[in-house]
Amino acid sequence: MSPARDQQSPVAPPSRGGGGMRLRGLIRKEFYQILRDPSSIAIAFLLPIVLLLIFGYGVSLDAEHVPIALVVEQPSADTASFTSGFHRSRYFEPVYLRDLREAEAALLDRRVSAIVHLRADFARRLRQTGGAPVQVIVNGVDANTGQLILGYVQGVWQKWLQRQALDRGDALALPVRLEARVWFNSELRSRNFLVPGLIAIIMTLIGALLTALVMAREWERGTMEALLVTPVTMREVLVGKLVPYFLLGTGGMALSVAMGTWLFGVPLRGSLWVLFAAASLFLLAALGMGLLISTVTKNQFVAGQVAILATFLPAFILSGFIFDIGSMPAVVQGITHVLAARYFVAILQTVFLAGNVWSVVLPNALALAGMAAFFLGVSRRKLRKRLE
């Protein structure tokens, strides 16, 4: 393969085995480009911070301090002791309104999310058999929150009944006593499971979207053609892209973990190295997808669109990051199995909130490894040293 060249030629023979030098050159180039391109810095570092702040502080799936209207037609000692339960609860922000009509108007205006209505005969019928009815109207537009509010109202009512019974000195004859204990996220803070899931989203952005864009840019600007005519091999081109964006993704991950644990107080019960090992597998799968997308599209605009549709949005919606996969229709559940983010989110939530649960971590890590091998393998095959 390396025949002797003309002796008279003044031209230096090409040095062989310069793979290390070529790879170093490619990686150094990539880092210069990352540092000088504000958009890659933004995607790698600014966007994670913004997302973490939004999900850490802004988005909450819990119903807390729910504004609630209390309509008491005939105030009495009994109604006062009943409504005081709402004041004590951290779930409610009660306001007193004069009549039902006013409360309905407030509900329509979304000033309150629920109405608790005590009729004029509440105190009288309380003492009679059959008891006093309490009307609860809940804004059911958001069904989940509606259910939560209804549950909380019932909780307040239950507590009040217990207190009433204790005051009267007789034990409440309940056949079953419910002692609830919440595992893993005992404070029931949604941020505790959102922030770990968010790491998967951030790494999808860096691994798939950013990589798809920068690779497509090489085709678009004609730099790829100039690269292809050098003695560089496609393996070197691929590794030259993988290494910088792998490091960038790991940086985004470290940033997210640090912000999650220190700023938002999310517990990290598993070990850090399990987390990073799983993240590395996921990152390789995401990078493989990004490289594949850009190799096929060769155009920044299309690559960006495809990357968002095929990686980012599914990671957001179908990974179990926000919406529980178990409550999705069977077909959609089937689709989630081809998403790398699904396996990663499962590992993340487990490692953060429960610890190194190998029965969860290992199968999911295996799936990630399989996907990484698949996508990197396919992009290696697709990326040929040809322009057609």
Partner 1 sequence: MEPSSATGSAERDSDAVLELRGVSKQFVVGRRTIPALRRVSLAVRRGRVTGLIGPDGAGKTTLMRLSVGLLAPDQGQVRALGFDATRESLAVQSRVGYMPQRFGLYEDLSVQENLDLYADLQGVPPAARAGRYEELMRMTGLARFTARLAGRLSGGMKQKLGLACTLVRPPQLLLLDEPTVGVDPVSRRELWQIVYRLVQQEGMTVLLSTAYLDEAERCDEIILMHDGEVLGDGPPGQFREKSRGRTYLVTAPGQRKRVVQAKLAAAAPVVDALIQGDRVRLVLDSEAAPQPAALLPGVAGVSIQSVPPRLEDSFVAMLKNRRAEDRGARPPDPAASAPARRRNGGGPVIEVSGVQRRFGNFYAVKGVTFQVERGEVFGLLGANGAGKSTTFRMLCGLLPASAGRLRVAGVDLRTAAAAARARIGYMSQKFSLYGNLSVGENLRFFSSAYGLSGRRQREQMDRALEQFDLAPMADTPSLDLPLGHKQRLAMACALMHEPDILFLDEPTSGVDPLARRDFWRRINALAEQHVTVMVTTHFMEEAEYCDRLAIMADGEILALGTPEEVKQRQRSAEHPEPTMEDAFIALIEGKGQTTASG
Binding residues for partner 1, per CB under 8 A?
1-7, 9-12, 14-16, 18, 21-22, 24-26, 28-29, 32-33, 36-37, 218, 221-233, 385-388
In angstroms, give the least distance from the CB of 204 to partner 1. Answer: 25
Kindly tell me which of 37 and 62 has the beta carbon lying closer to partner 1. 37
Tell me the two tokens of residue 2: 């390396």
In angstroms, give the least distance from the CB of 212 to partner 1. Answer: 18
Kindly tell me which of 234 and 242 has the beta carbon lying closer to partner 1. 234
Kindly tell me which of 31 and 45 has the beta carbon lying closer to partner 1. 31
Phi first, then psi: give them for residue 93, nearest 5 degrees.
Answer: -125, 85
Tell me the two tokens of residue 163: 């207190």
Kindly tell me which of 6 and 324 has the beta carbon lying closer to partner 1. 6
Alpha helices in 205-339 (DSSP H): 211-220, 223-228, 234-258, 272-297, 300-307, 313-317, 330-336
Q: DSSP code of 205? A: I
In angstroms, give the least distance from the CB of 388 to partner 1. Answer: 6
In angstroms, give the least distance from the CB of 50 to partner 1. Answer: 24
**Inter-CA distances, 291 with 17, 217, 237, 314, Å:** 26, 12, 11, 18
State the Cα–Cα distance between residues 37 and 47, nearest whole angstrom: 15
Kindly tell me which of 173 and 229 has the beta carbon lying closer to partner 1. 229
In angstroms, give the least distance from the CB of 14 to partner 1. Answer: 4
In angstroms, give the least distance from the CB of 377 to partner 1. Answer: 22
Kindly tell me which of 168 and 386 has the beta carbon lying closer to partner 1. 386
Torsion angle in degrees (nearest 10) through CA of 3, 23, 26, 236: 70
State the Cα–Cα distance between residues 370 and 337, nearest whole angstrom: 12
Kindly tell me which of 33 and 356 has the beta carbon lying closer to partner 1. 33
State the Cα–Cα distance between residues 336 and 343, nearest whole angstrom: 9
State the Cα–Cα distance between residues 11 and 24, nearest whole angstrom: 25
CA within 13 Å, CB half, 267: 15
Judge contact between 152 and 91, C-beta under 8 A: yes
**Inter-CA distances, 305 with 66, 133, 282, Å:** 39, 56, 21
In angstroms, give the least distance from the CB of 292 to partner 1. Answer: 21
In angstroms, give the least distance from the CB of 210 to partner 1. Answer: 15
State the Cα–Cα distance between residues 76 and 125, nearest whole angstrom: 13
Kindly tell me which of 50 and 226 has the beta carbon lying closer to partner 1. 226
